[in-house]
Structure 1
Amino acid sequence: MMDFSKIKVGNTYDRPQLAKLWGYQSHQAFSRGVFTPVNTNRIILFVTKEKPATSTQYNDYIIDHFLYWDGEEKGGNNNRIINAHQNGEEIHLFYRYRHHQPFIYMGIVQYIDHEPFSHKPFEFIFKILDSEHKDKTGAEEPQLPYTERNTEKRNLVLSRIGQGKFRMSLFDLWDGCAVTGIKIPEILRASHIKPWKSSTNYERLDPFNGLLLSPTIDLLFDHGFVSFKDDGAILLSKRIKEQSALLNITEGGTSLTKIYESNIPYLDYHRRQVFLK
């Protein structure tokens, strides 16, 4: 069993030290950015902000106690990282600003959200959980001179963090697709009932303005081909009624798995402003 009892949040460690503490003959066993030791429930991230010029220039950094991290090139551990919380696994973070510096142990981090890509690594956001020590580690990015690009990057990251929290809240509310009940996090979409572009900042993050949906239903709902009554029963646009059997959805037979009173004003907006009657 890998021993973390002698590893303290905020302290620095290099890989040879960790190899000795964990009982490995060499640190080569965890020379890469993601280490998943056998027979443990731990996923360990080794993250370097400034990479050597000869290395792949992944875009990894910490802002406001959130880690923004480009995943592995081949994504071998993507699903394990995404499902870590559901599977009872811990994600530990070792972080350093420059190559050749020792790593700062940041403690356990929580997966918040990711952006999937087919042509490049997934982009992940994690929350650093150890609030007692995270202000003392020195791993927060240094203050940079104001530039429009830096501000845009920061706003983008904070926006995605908000979206990640919204998605997590929908999992708490629905525990799966709000229509089919499917529980596959990788395919489920966090869909706004009142569209993002029409919502206030509060409404954009209000979990009751959201449905967790499988991809086909999400697209139908987003484009107004389906909507839902206040009791959760599905409404079909005339434009798809003839094909509803092919989609395996029927009026009178398909509905939301549950309904919350706070969903109702948003559903009313969707029926009036988005639904194609």
Structure 2
Amino acid sequence: RMIGRLLQARQFWRIAMPIDMSTLTVGAAYSRDELARRWGYRSGTAITKGVCGSRPDARLVLFVTLNKSSNQPQYDDRLEGSRLFWEGESAHGHDARIAATRESGEELHLFLRENPGEDFTYLGTLELESVVFKADAPSRFVFRLLDA
């Protein structure tokens, strides 16, 4: 029981940790470990998912790798000019929150890399243009880069 409470407290702390974007530069490359340190996490493993969020400061961060490893789901993610075409998570965990960013005022930020193992380039904020929700496959999102 005590372990369960500790895990819940740890999970809450991870979710509640603020994500400060003010020290980042659009166009600069950052490793997950460096971003984790800047945001107060112990290591980059705290932000290994493709979507990370912070409730206190109303920010969502997308980490997108264009060329996936062969052992990873092969999402059809691509950047065309100032538009990001992105397939959401298979489990749809953040679909509704991402789709509601315009109404909620939550900021959406993009970190992109070509290949696994490379640092991510911070491309700035995104605005949702459209979404097609799917129940049996990842939902499809189209975003516009605001800092392009």
Give the structure-1-normalised TM-score: 0.46
Q: How does 1:193-212 map to 2 (within 5 A)?
A: none
Q: Which amino acid aligns with 1:71?
A: G
CA displacement 1:14-37 (0-9 Å, x = unmatched)? 100001111111222210000012
TM-superposed CA distance for 1:70, in Å, is 0.4
* Aligned counterpart in structure 2 of residue 55 of structure 1, from 67, 72, 89: 72
Q: Distance in 1 between matches of 2:38 and 2:100?
A: 28
Q: Distance in 1 between matches of 2:115 and 2:65?
A: 6
- Structure 1 match to 2:120: 103
TM-superposed CA distance for 1:126, in Å, is 0.3
Give the structure-2-normalised TM-score: 0.85
Q: How does 1:136-175 map to 2 (within 5 A)?
A: none
CA displacement 1:114-140 (0-9 Å, x = unmatched)? 122121000110000103xxxxxxxxx
- Structure 2 match to 1:216: none
1:24 has 2:41 as partner: yes
* Aligned counterpart in structure 2 of residue 71 of structure 1, from 67, 88, 101: 88
Runs of 5+ consecutive residues of structure 2 not aligned to the other structure: 1-17
Q: Which amino acid aligns with 1:88?
A: G
- Structure 1 match to 2:32: 15
* Aligned counterpart in structure 1 of residue 137 of structure 2, from 75, 98, 120: 120
Q: Which amino acid aligns with 2:74?
A: Q
Look up the SS of the partner of 1:17 in the other structure: helix
TM-superposed CA distance for 1:104, in Å, is 0.5
Look up the SS of the partner of 1:98 in the other structure: coil
- Structure 1 match to 2:6: none
- Structure 2 match to 1:162: none
Look up the SS of the partner of 1:36 in the other structure: strand
CA displacement 1:86-130 (0-9 Å, x = unmatched)? 111000000001111100000000001012212100011000010
- Structure 2 match to 1:82: 99
For the aligned residue pairs, the C-alpha RMSD in angstroms reads 1.0
Q: Distance in 2 between matches of 1:44 and 1:21?
A: 14
Larger Rg belongs to? 1
- Structure 2 match to 1:45: 62
With over 3 angstroms needed to count, the CA separation of the structure-2 counterparts of 1:127 and 1:63, relative to structure 1, is same
Higher relative contact order, chain-length normalized (CA < 8 Å, sep 6+): 2
- Structure 2 match to 1:93: 110
- Structure 2 match to 1:230: none
Q: Which runs of 4+ in 1 moved over 4 A?
A: none
Q: Which amino acid aligns with 2:90?
A: E
* Aligned counterpart in structure 2 of residue 5 of structure 1, from 22, 32, 45: 22
TM-superposed CA distance for 1:38, in Å, is 3.7
Q: Distance in 1 between matches of 2:20 and 2:133?
A: 33
